[in-house]
Structure formats: C-alpha cells, structure tokens
Amino acid sequence: MNSSSNQSLTPGFFKALYQANPDPWNFKTSAYEAQKYAATIAALVKPRYRSAFEIGGSIGILTEQLADRCEAILSIDVSDIAQSQAIQRCQHLPQVRFQLMCVPEAFPSEQFDLVVLSEVGYYWCPQDLSKAQQQILDHLEPKGHLLLVHWIVDAEVLPLTGDQVHESFLSLPDLRHLGGDRTEQYRLDLFERV
C-alpha cells in the first residue's frame, strides 16, 4: 500500500478536479504526455484491433490516437466534464463510443481484443484493483491485448503506486507478458490473454 487509504478515489474527487480545471494534467499541451502517448501507440504490436476498451479516457487525447488503430473503441470515464471534451474531440471518429462508467462498480458486457488502462490503476484500492483485474480478464478475448501505462513516481495521496499496479498484473497467470518499457517517470507493459 502506498498510503493508509484503502479506498479508491471517488467519482466526486475527479468531478471536483475537472470543475477546477478542465484539463488538470495538461494533456493538451504537455510535451511529456505527447511523448508518452506516442510510446503508448507504438507499443501496440497488432496493426489493427477489432474492439478496444479504454478505461478512464479523460478528455480524449489518447482516445483519438487509439482510434487510428481500432475498428471500434468504447471509452469510459467517471467525469462528464472530461467526457464531453472527449466527445467533442472525437466527433469526426464514428468508431468511438463513450459512456460514463466507474470501473469496477460497472463493466461493459461485451468482449474486447484490446483493453487500455493508462494512468488509472493507482486510483483503485487493492480490492478494487483485484475486482477490475478479474473483469478485464473476463472480457478480454483469448490472444487479446492489455496495455498498461502508469506514472511511477511515488505520490503519497494515491492508494497504489504505478509499480504496484503493474506488478500485480504481472503476477496473474492468465496474462502473458509481451514486453514493456520503463523511463524515469512512467512504465508501460503489454500483455496477451492466454
């Protein structure tokens, strides 16, 4: 555990964050984020994916880039302020669908061949991480890919560190690790459902 909190950060936390600033992590302007998004897309080893699920799509910058590689994407977030910006950004992309959803309280019923979890896992407490992992496994088709990307600098306010999130997925027997990368600030790992 990173801090004494054993509760996931709530939708209300993210609502307040986006109310105070519609782009709280400067996704639109940050050179660091742009480089990380390029590395994220480059890590996808299949040229095309049939149906992707993006957890915590925020304002849709990564969503828009993922759309180039996917026949269909469902992007979900807990924040309507974030998602309305994503809808606007991706309005030229008919393959992208949006839904307000809090994982693991809810999860789509369909099967995916790609799940993207970028900068979301450390907001979950260990119990919710474990529930989300089971949901991801249940809805990732055999040979489907899971891409994880997380900031690895320790932040006391988060329930888990990025490394704890990745190590936890690495311990799951139903996932085969295909490869990864680690910079000073973030870590990226790609898995295949066995």
The residues that bridge with 51 in the sheet, in sequence order, are: none
Binding residue for ligand SAM, selected from 103, 140, 172, 175, defined by CB under 6 A: 103
Instruction: In angstroms, give the least distance from the CB of 56 to ligand SAM.
Output: 3
Q: Which of 51, 79, 161, 164 binds ligand SAM (CB under 6 A)?
A: 79
In terms of Cβ atoms closer than 10 Å to its own Cβ (0-12, 13-18, 19+), residue 160 is buried
- Report the sign of the C-alpha dihedral through residues 72, 96, 176, 194, in that order: negative
Q: Establish if 55 lies at the interface with ligand SAM (CB under 6 A).
A: yes
Q: Which is nearer to ligand SAM, 23 or 141 (CB)?
A: 23
Q: Are strands 112-118 and 96-100 parallel, antiparallel or unpaired?
A: unpaired
Give 87 or 102: the residue with its C-beta nearer to ligand SAM: 102
Residues in the chain: 194
Residue 115: other Cβ atoms inside 10 A: 23
Give the number of other Cβ atoms within 10 Å of residue 187's Cβ: 19
Residue among 14, 49, 107, 112 that touches ligand SAM (CB under 6 A): 14
Asked whether position 114 contacts ligand SAM by CB under 6 A, the answer is no
76 binds ligand SAM (CB under 6 A): yes
- Per CB under 6 A, residues contacting ligand SAM are 14, 25, 27, 55-58, 62, 76-79, 82, 102-103, 118-120, 123
